[in-house]
Structure 1
């Protein structure tokens, strides 16, 4: 299995290292299987013989013009650019047009494409995600959705599979993505590698989302997020929040749906859950006390919210407070 990892200046070392680690671990463990799949031959490719990582280190690469391998999968590694505007400027820069062209060509040839975190913007900019389900880093969903409306985005997912395309979420999701590619050839090998790496597969980015970060870039949503936090211990109606913000409830519904892909109520639930999680992990409040702090009349409503959104109990959240 020949995998091309395409990198540009500013490549993120954490994501790139996760890709190397996952594929190399899978290769080491192949000999333990009765019927091992083909080895993963990883080629790191750029325009020249090296790129500079986001922290200034040199990453040795194979020049694109010297690549003679027909890749079975082509992966775009993330770049260390966290803000949407400079990220869009980077992926659309003339100096990176070669990568977009290569992605389109690979798509036409049926090569499996993959990217994680900020690397997903390269796939979207190339147009290869149009009409496909995809995910990206949780804090970039609003900007991604606005620039690439033809993509069926679900930024809550860790890994998302389309037809011949795999995308993954933030940073360490590179590991999830790489293991999902290994899984395509050998579920047994992927499971073995996961256990050696002590890496638990995760289905959602929701536990990592910071609501006030997600709200950035839209004044109405920023104001709504702030209003919810100021009234979080109250039992309020969305219509009341909209009225105090000087808009109709329908306008607020449209704004959150367009920017966040969710309703105002769901976003308010995210804010409540974020606050509840912090209280459970950093204070000695009882579950009943935490419930009152976020505007619930009893603990059962909080337990239902946590179970519905996280698949956990308050006790399990509290148990994971230590690093």
Structure 2
């Protein structure tokens, strides 16, 4: 399998090395079994030399001089805010990289990206009309910038036809493990165990709602009010408190957050429930009541649906 890792200036160092190290470890385990290494990994770029965010120099084969790969991986840019990403997407090298990725995609290459690397795929139009994920705190910006993408930012990894996208930061490892898994489930499991990476199907366990990158004063006020009224929330009360109509509040939540107000309230309840599970020994029933649910059964069901984890699994995270 011919894999190109596409690099540009100011890449997120950990993202780049996580991809390379995970694939290299997969090759090593396969070679230990006496098989030939399946992953032919090449660092490529539209420039022959780039610098990572922390100043490491990386030599790259010129992408335009090479035949198309089986897989291209786009690691994250180090830019972490909408403003910085907006500037990055206008850089000549980024625009050239998008053009190269488009050509590879059209020739049958599987295109993949993690974290802010997903912005490059979306800006190239390769995610239009399909499901994708991105780094959770940039979901509102991503949704506004690329409205044609069906964003499912709760997911750690989304596989959609000829495209694979992964979530924030260390989801680079999840993406690389997915590539290894296409060759061998057994080897992927071995790599996962050596890297101490557990199955992480959802970003929802890690997301913090008030860290979502958006610039909307109504949503900021709504978010603050909801946190104070989790157990007694009603749409009528919320709209009155915001001094807007329920329709306006519904529309603004969808435009900015990609969710209905009710769904956002549920996100905040789940976030608060996870926090209490991980920081206290309070019973599930008591936590359910504290965040606005009728009983522990309802909370357990919603936690499983939202995060893919049981209560006991959630309690173990961060301990």
One fold, TM greater than 0.5? yes
What is the DSSP-based 3-state SS (H/G/I as helix, E as strand, rest coil) of the residue aligned with 2:58? Answer: strand
1:270 to 252, 267, 270: 267
Aligned residue pairs: how many? 319
- For structure 1, list consecutive stretches of 5 or more residues without a partner in the other structure: none
Structure 1 residue aligned with 2:184 = 186
| C-alpha contact 1:9 1:54 (8 A) present in aligned 2 | yes
Against the structure 1 CA distance between its residues 314 and 223, is the aligned structure 2 distance closer, same or farther, given a 3 Å change threshold?
same
State whether structure 2 residue 129 is matched by structure 1 residue 131: yes
Taking the aligned partners of 2:103 and 2:311, their CA distance within structure 1 comes to 49
Does the 8 A contact of 2:205 with 2:274 survive in 1?
A: no
Distance 2:73 2:176 in 1: 9
Matched, 1:116 2:117: no
Q: 1:62 to 1:306 in 2, by over 3 A?
A: same
> Does 2:297 align with 1:293?
no
Aligned CA distance change for structure 1 residues 57 and 69 (closer, same or farther; 3 Å): same
TM-score by length of 1: 0.90
Partner of residue 219, structure 1: 217
What's the CA shift for 1:22? 1.4
Could you tell me which runs of 5 or more consecutive residues in structure 2 were left unpaired when the two chains were aligned. Answer: none
CA RMSD of aligned residues (A): 2.2
Alignment partners' CA distance in 1, 2:183 and 2:285: 48
Spell out the pairing of 1:6-25 with structure 2 (5 A cutoff): 6-25=6-25
Separation of aligned partners in 2, 1:159 and 1:251: 33
The aligned residue for residue 52 of structure 2 is 53
User: Out of 188, 207, 210, which is 1:209 matched to?
Assistant: 207
Distance 1:131 1:286, change over 3 A: closer
Secondary structure (helix, strand or coil) at the match of 2:244 reads coil
Which residue of structure 1 aligns with residue 198 of structure 2? 200
Do structure 1's residue 151 and structure 2's residue 154 form an aligned pair? no
Corresponding position of 2:62: 63
What secondary structure sits across from 1:123 in the alignment? helix
Q: Distance in 1 between matches of 2:53 and 2:188?
A: 29
Q: CA deviation at 1:284?
A: 4.5
Normalized against structure 2, the TM-score is what? 0.91
**Equivalent residue number for residue 161 of structure 1:** 159
State which of 301, 306, 310 in structure 2 corresponds to 1:309. Answer: 306
Alpha-carbon spacing, 1:297–1:156, altered in 2? closer, same or farther (3 Å): closer
> Are residues 1:280 and 2:311 paired?
no
**Among 100, 103, 115, the residue aligned to 2:101:** 103
User: CA–CA distance in 1 between the matches of 2:302 and 2:129?
Assistant: 32
